[in-house]
A and B are shown apart, each in its own frame.
Chain A
Amino acid sequence: MQIYATELLGSETYDDQGHFVGRVREFFIEPADQPNRVSRFLLSRGRFAPLLARHDQVAQVAPGTIRLNCSERALELYRPNESWLAVRKDLLDQQIIDTKGRKVVRVNDVDLAELRTNGNVELRLTQVDVGLPGAVRRLLQGVVAPAVVRKLQGNLPARTIRWEFVNLIEPDPLRRVKLRITHEKLEDLHPADLAEIMEHLSAAERQGIIASLDEQTAASVLAELDERLTTQIVEKLDPEKAADILEEMAPDAAADLLAELPKETSEELLEEMPGLEAAEVRELLAFDPATAGGMMNTDFVFIGESATREEVLQWMRSQDLNFEQLDTVVLLDGAAQFSGTVPVAKILMANSEQPMGDLRTEPLLSVQADADEADVFDLFDKYNLRMLTVVDAHGRPMGAIAVDDVVSRLVKK
């Protein structure tokens, strides 16, 4: 049988002799023990100290009444325990993340299922109710008989989330450990979805989630978030962790982020980062954000124009390249000057002995680092570019602008 937290709270509890013990004020789950079993019931007894009934002391559960299989004397006294999840306090009315529906929702009620074992009844948390039936139950509980409420809710559209898809949000890191709250399920979400979820949370909650994600995921989520939020988050992070996350980000994204931070903070983070990455980011920070230099990414692939397809592929395999960015490579001539670009697709189709110079895309396009962003947008639009090379005064490539950077800038305008 299914029973709801709303019906359980306030239930009258009787011992094995049929004597009244108290009313259920709260019940707990011990995630460290079993992730979904109601392990203890808190019974309030007016002016007497509240008692706890363990799951194996419960003989029968019905809406409004609980019968124990022991006497009142066998119950332990209540002492708060941080590692118990209090259903009423920690779950009801709180926000949770629905990892399947990929959004933040508020819990109206909690559904429990009975599990009979020898001599006692266990309750298992099956799903949380985020729809109208739960809301109606909460509203009418204690005013209208449970049977009537049950009949009424049958006509309402249900919206529930299975317990295994529920991710609790707990800003306190210590409590998070005690309650065994991990954000592993969140790491499986697309960073863009996770970023959107984060926008719906409070600052402390966002902080909690970012701090518990692995650096790789945290970096991709930060890249998707509104820049106002990213700066807030990074400022509050432990500098070491923040530097680790920045290191995982693309240098241009990291530079954009650091540019929004106060000078001392960004310096501190750069100090924490490994020298190579830090130098790369520092160099990008020097450019005005509204120029080609401010948009470019120094993380680009460049090869000599005389190299053959075979040599290039061999070299590429040996490198740890970022596949998402890798769709065009930059060619250099003998004087290390820009001499065109080649789409990777073209390289794939070429003969193994074909030199890269034969494959270059016409016309040869590049911009100076100080070119205005509007010129960059025009070039991308006119030539349907996916990537544009940024060169210095001597025609030497120093970075590349990818089409996704252009899109996100245009959307922001």
Chain B
Amino acid sequence: MNWAAISKWSEELQSRGTDLQKRVRGLRRRVALLLAVVGPGLITSNVDNDAGGISVYTQAGAQYGYALLWSLIPMTIALYVTGEMCARMGVVTGKGLSDLIREEFGFRPTFFVMITGFFVDLANVVAEFAGVAAAMQIFHVSKYIAVPIAAILVWVLVLRGTYRQVEIIFLVACVLYLSYVVSAFFAKPDWLEAARHTVIPSMHLNASYLVMLTGLIGTTIAPWQFFYMQAGFVEKKVSARQYPQARADVMIGSISCMVIVFFIIVCTAATLYTSGQHGITDAAEAAKALVPLAGKWAGTLFAFGLLNASLFAASILPLSTAHVICEGLGFEAGIDNKWREAPIFYWLYTILIVVGAGIVLLPHAPLWKILIFSQVGNGFWLPVVLIFILLLVNRRDLMGEYVNTVTFNVVAWITAIAMIALTLVLTYTSLFTGNAPSP
């Protein structure tokens, strides 16, 4: 009895493995390769269409019809360029953005970035729960029932799930955004006109048009998304060799995000704008106004889209924030840890949800002021984060051959400067004039 004898027996078995089997395995592997990476980019970009975002897009359509559609193409580029840098950093260094800021810039800058992040994100979480409340009101559910249920749902989802499971739920949420596409078809828009305005820019040099344009861009690129996306790639352990897939993920995400925005604007332009209801200020109001114009289904789908978007963002924002803070301060973080292993992470997460949902439930909550604060906060925080990103992504000692190319730097800095200028304008108008788009 020896080893060689056994080996000979199994050779017989080996020869039975058919060629077909091997080919199927190869295909499966290739699909798995892409699926293993896809996620962070797609999810993050779609979360940009949160409650605040949808409100702004609705107003843009109601007030200006198709006229602002052209801004979507440059916005897609900006979204891609900024997101890609974070994806690349995550994939190449294997570290989160706040980890890198901490290691390269020290404790104090990190601390301030994180404290600001906490309050800005908290305001954003309030905005998301306010979105849940508004959407459920259309379905005749009181906010005192809807918001606590949503909060518990969100909390349990992340607490009980592993990263993989949660990500799958998030990916499903991305698909649900398609309700806006259906809604837009119900509205019977003038597709030719919409297409024309998408390709040909039209500038109007009046203040409220510029403010609306700024609002559109300001709500689309949020500072916390960089942290979330990079952490997503790091947590998925995507390696530098998989960078092309990661880049594809970011690109698919940016484009799909903008496609949804396109349909939201088209939907409201074809109905609210055409029928002269230019003064709609939020998404819930728009959903109601859609019913007589495009039918009950269009309105319901629109409201459903808002609910989905708000819930989706409400699950991700607290998660992302808790991650950022723990990473930077050196506490255990990540939903693959148990509560006991990462207590501060889970406490932060819980506080953000409880306080965020709680504020919406206060009978006379100054929601409007909080929403303005969230937008102003994003505005101030974004340039800071963008500059950190640009400084880091150009470091050869960190990025090696993956540092920004000159072309990419030019595009990225133009994006950064444009974003900074636009958000400053938006912040100024939100604070000091009355004609800001309502978030």
Contact = CB atoms under 8 A, between A and B. Distances in A.
Interface of A: 92-95, 103, 105-108, 130, 135, 138-139, 199, 201-206, 226, 228-229, 232, 235, 276, 279-280, 283, 286-288, 293, 298, 302, 304, 332, 336, 369-370, 392-394, 396-398
Given A139-B111, A232-B239, A286 B9 contact: no
- Interface footprint category on B: 20 to 34
B94 A203 contact: yes
B9 A394 contact: yes
Contacts of A336: 1, 5
Contacts, number: 88
Interface in B77-95: 93-95
A283 B11 contact: yes
A204 B21 contact: no
Nearest to B17: A286
B13 A94 contact: no
Contact of A304 (B1, B12, B239, B241): B1
Nearest to A228: B237
Contacts of A105: 330
Contact of A279 (B7, B240, B241, B332): B7
Contact of A93 (B3, B12, B106, B239): B106
A219 B227 CA distance: 34
Contacts of B3: 276, 280
B239 A203 contact: yes
A139 B108 contact: yes
B36 interface: yes
B240 A203 contact: yes
A138 B7 contact: no
Nearest to B110: A93
A298 B240 contact: no
Nearest to A204: B94
B393 to A, nearest CB: 16
A226 B237 contact: yes
B10 interface: yes
12 contacts: A103-B332, A108-B330, A138-B107, A202-B93, A203-B239, A229-B237, A280-B3, A286-B17, A369-B10, A392-B13, A396-B6, A398-B6
Interface of B: 1, 3, 5-7, 9-14, 17, 21, 36, 93-95, 102-103, 106-108, 110-111, 237, 239-241, 329-330, 332
A92 B106 contact: yes
A107 B99 CA distance: 12
Nearest to A282: B14
Contacts of B330: 95, 105-108, 130
B94 A283 contact: no
Contact of B107 (A135, A369, A394): A135
A283 B21 contact: no
A138 B1 contact: no
B241 A235 contact: yes
A-B pairs, 6 with minimum CB distance: A202-B94, A106-B330, A138-B107, A286-B14, A203-B94, A232-B239
A369 B332 CA distance: 43
B13 A369 contact: yes
Contacts of A288: 21
A298 B6 contact: yes
A392 B14 CA distance: 11
Nearest to A397: B6
A174 B404 CA distance: 27
A206 B14 CA distance: 35
B102 A106 contact: yes
Contact of A392 (B10, B94, B108): B10
Nearest to B12: A392
A283 B7 contact: yes
Contacts of B11: 283
